[in-house]
Structure 1
């Protein structure tokens, strides 16, 4: 069965709770999404506001402070907000991704000649003494390896040793400053589940991002050689408009392509735009997934960027919006401003296209 780009779009939006906000808890949504990109510390709050009915910042911040969620380097070698269980599940599975990042290219040259087992052990010892920022960790590591850059040493340890970036980093309403790190074992009392399963992870990816190809799963995770994993799951096969084979759970939602989709505001680097090799199901012409601004959707497709300056929301469409769409975007933008800065005077400004 062939699926159009619009059918794939509606399936993705439904699974991401962007067709209709969900009543699930933030923790349930974070788990369903298999984590949320969090290199911008507060971005998951905006992502959840667009997905969870009645979401308030404290709803997520409390899970960080109670250690139900953590911020940790995982898929694609980037920081994700995940549940505590998913941190233990995903971290050992993503080790090949992190090793590839650490030992190749510029990073590999920076730690060339170092016994990496010794580096990992020394880093672990320093962070088990007390949480430290990457800057402080690098300074202490440089005492042992004076011929290497402190930042490179600390970054290598972050990839070698399971580390979490601890609160108040990522807590809404608190000055972020430089994030302190602790070992995953110190923070959660363990570093992995007894038998972490890549099959479970791929199955859950499809629940949140499918229908999808093997290449899509690999793009999302950074892992390779996942064909065998996908093939052994009991999945239904589809194809896209270009004939690519897509896999999906039989009972997963695949709404009609004409189902209405209201505008939604997404944070910087939201996974919805980074988790497929073929992104035509979510992008409009002109979209750059690496944009440091947030993005917004019109009719389900990313159609521009936004940023907030105090109480003003600057909205930059990729092309001129229809009057009705512009009004809907402005209305949703005002709701975003009320969420981020309640009680203030709010302004939505459309930048020239």
Structure 2
């Protein structure tokens, strides 16, 4: 069968203290579903870890409002480094993670009352969509953006991951990955200039080209109903030479480390990426095992080196405490998991 993109599974977030960061993400973004936790050695990421295996802790956290999750990632064998320069809009890599939100006004007011580091004011993008930017305690920037799609209403201020803002050197070249391979085929806007809604961001006063991409077709697959619709915004800055966000650093250090898609048909995807000039840099070849979860993962780089991960899930815990796991390897790829079954992830909620 040909490859199928089911949705954004997660954004990787490299932090120094995963437990501390996860509590903040639960409190402010409702990322309280513990899909899995795992401590192991990353043996297959050598192309992106200076050729050395790295000890790490990883946890996948989600929000039942819907959207992608966070893979909260902590190096255990080294002290992870931050960039040695201030990140600015247009720097190459994942600069901002987008979080979906049904009531942006309420979230904005509440985050402001809580004393969070709000960047600028509540504003609108060129399509008229309300949003605001907020920085976590670890210097990561999030865009809380209005979107009505919802898997299951929760008490949290926001839903999960809705996409990201990625700095590129050449938008047209980058579309070979984001529009072609990743199938973000719908252009919501493609504009050049200075933008009031970006002005408060570091480097946001400069002229840039920005293009917002969505997928025209509803994505399907086992967990597509909880991932929901997503978007990618590419930014090409003018007036300065952008820096690589992970320059002189390795995968898993501080910041947004990768964008991960849940997919079906890894073999076909491998051939497609290779034929289009973006061969896998990492390929688990068969089934990796993360304790309670298993699957097949791979990575490619966009033209500027931003890491895109693909995961074909084979096994996932539904209610781990009861030993209830789902084997997805032989499941009909066009058939989604029933909503009631996905909702049982609530049994894995962390309550502070």
- Shorter-normalised TM range: under 0.3
Relative to total residues, which structure has the larger strand share, 1 or 2?
2
- Rg bigger for which structure? 1
Which structure has more relative contact order (CA 8 Å, sep 6+)? It is: 2
Question: TM-score of the superposition, structure 2-length normalised?
Answer: 0.26
